[in-house]
Amino acid sequence: MKSPKLKVLVIDDSALIRSVMKEIINREKDMECVGAAPDPLEAREMIKALNPDLITLDVEMPKMDGLDFLERLMRLRPMPVLMVSTLTERGAEVTLRALELGAVDFISKPKLDIARGMEEAAAEITEKIREVAQARVRKTVVSPDQEKFSADAILPSVAGRYSSTEKLIIIGASTGGTEAIREVLTKLPADAPGVLVTQHMPEHFTKSFADRLNTLCKITVKEAVHNERILPGHAYIAPGNWHLLLKRSGANYVVNLDQGPLVNRHRPSVDVLFRSAANIAGANAIGIILTGMGKDGMQGMLEMKQAGSHTIAQDEATCVIFGMPKEAIAAGGVCEVLPLQNIARRTMEKLASIGSKSSRI
């Protein structure tokens, strides 16, 4: 008796990709493309109607991004998912996040001559479809007390209670952020103020990220440790699965790590770091929001600006994903929008212009 063919649903906003994927799949004797959707909302209805065995999923799509859709899918109707995107490269943070959310595997779309590149990868695509179809997937459960959409879940906003003149640089990033952070940190001088960095990245990856940056930068770069003093000429990377906060111990700034609820779907959350900087450093901090998907950091950057911080957003032309900077700009939390290559220089210029300010308690 013949085995039934694998039913594959392709979800991609590119008509060309949908067409090429359909051709590649339908050439195989053991699988068929039962449908192709241009966005997650249409895909949702097709999943109900067609009951596919697995889906291939792009990341950048209209109406809802692929990671949002993946998270909801794995919570409500888990099934095998193969990520197919220009953003899903080995080691890329968006890939790691997709796997964390429940995707089984990934393949990277070619960035040039897409149709030819996809055809050349046809054997890899179909082999991965076969492998992914055999995966056992489980429903992901996020209970209401595990995830929050505001930094209120971690710490209150207490703007106006800072009293130090020590300067700091505060950076938040997500998709594409590893290279954007490298660009900023490698241009900072050895005597730069202390730097706190939240990059959306899973546990166990942040230490190797910090170690790599440490070999490239004039400043010392390390994964942050709870209660350590923040020193000039040092950058502290939020460990995966821990919120990074700025705290004060006497006259010193110190690192605080917190494993409270997810905020904006993330731990570490940029909003949490930015709010802590607004509370503790105020006008003595420079806030920088870099490339990333979603809204994390939008509210926190506004709070930093309201507390007197100078705030900078990476411009659209140099972003991998202009999501987080765009949202921060729209919310009114950004003082300047700059190309990535200009951010470090401008940051040092603004820090030099910050004079002694009278304390506010």
**Within 10 A of 337 (CB to CB), how many other CB atoms are there?**
14
* Residue type present at position 75: R
Residues 12, 58, 105, 200: which is the catalytic one? 200
3-state secondary structure the chain: CCCCCEEEEEECCCHHHHHHHHHHHHCCCCEEEEEEECCHHHHHHHHHHHCCCEEEECCCCCCCCHHHHHHHHHHHCCCCEEEEECCCCCCCHHHHHHHHHCCCEEEECCCCCHHHHHHHCHHHHHHHHHHHHCCCCCCCCCCCCCEECCHHHCCCCCCCCCCCCCCEEEEEECCCHHHHHHHHHCCCCCCCCEEEEEECCCCCCHHHHHHHHHHHCCCEEEECCCCCECCCCEEEECCCCCEEEEEEECCEEEEEEECCCEECCECCCHHHHHHHHHHHCHHHEEEEECCECCCCCHHHHHHHHHCCCEEEEECHHHCCCECHHHHHHHCCCCCEEECHHHHHHHHHHHHHHCCCCCCCC
Please work out, in degrees rounded to the nearest 5, the angle formed at the alpha carbon of residue 159 by the alpha carbons of 264 and 197. Answer: 50
On the 0-12 / 13-18 / 19+ scale of CB atoms within 10 A, 207 is middle
**Of the candidates 110, 104, 149, 146, which has an alpha carbon nearest to the alpha carbon of residue 129?**
104
Annotation says 39 is catalytic: no
Annotation says 296 is catalytic: yes
To 10 degrees, what angle do helices 298-306 and 270-280 make? 10
Residues 53, 65, 105, 174: which is the catalytic one? 174
Residues 296, 309, 310, 315: which is the catalytic one? 296
Active site residues: 174, 200, 296
